């Protein structure tokens, strides 16, 4: 799919350079759509979804002042 995004980006840029602005815009819209889909697919995990469980926060002190 990434090759497809490169093709669309190339077509958009080449069309823009050659003066076909509407065509360039159409290719760019398709490119952005495919790009977002590819990005979401790349970071999605069947086990953890979009979360990042390897990042865990913790308090440096057992309790904050004023808490029991």
Partner 1 sequence: MSDVSAESRGQRTLAFLNYLYLLLMMGVIALILTVALVFQYAYGELPCPLCLLERLAMFGVCFGIILTFRHGFSYQHTGVSLLFALILVIVAERQSLLDIYPRPGHAYIGSAIFGLHMPVWATIIGLVLLFTIIAKMAVIGGDRALERIGLAAFPVLARAGAIVSLYVILLLAINLVSAFLQCGFNECHTYGYQLLGGPTAPPAGGT
Q: Which is nearer to partner 1, 22 or 67 (CB)?
A: 22
State the minimum distance, in angstroms, from the CB of residue 68 to partner 1.
32
Scan residues 27-66 and list those touching partner 1 (CB under 8 A): 28, 31-32, 35, 38-39, 42-43, 52, 54-55
- Identify the helix (H) or strand (E) that includes residue 25: helix 21-43
Q: Which backbone phi and psi does 57 adopt, to 5 degrees?
A: -95, 155
Q: Which backbone phi and psi does 45 adopt, to 5 degrees?
A: -125, 135
Answer for which of 13, 23, 26, 30 binds partner 1 (CB under 8 A) is 13
Cα→Cα distances 21→5, 7, 30, 32, 62, Å: 19, 17, 14, 16, 60
List residues binding partner 1 (CB under 8 A).
1-7, 9-10, 12-14, 16-17, 19, 21, 24, 28, 31-32, 35, 38-39, 42-43, 52, 54-55
């Amino acid at each position: 799919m990434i090759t497809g995004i490169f093709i669309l980006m190339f077509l958009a840029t080449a069309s823009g350079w050659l003066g076909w602005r509407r065509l360039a815009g159409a290719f760019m819209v398709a490119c952005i759509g495919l790009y977002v889909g590819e990005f979401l697919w790349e970071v999605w995990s069947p086990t953890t979804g979009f979360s990042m469980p390897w990042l865990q926060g913790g308090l440096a002190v057992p309790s904050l002042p004023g808490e029991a």
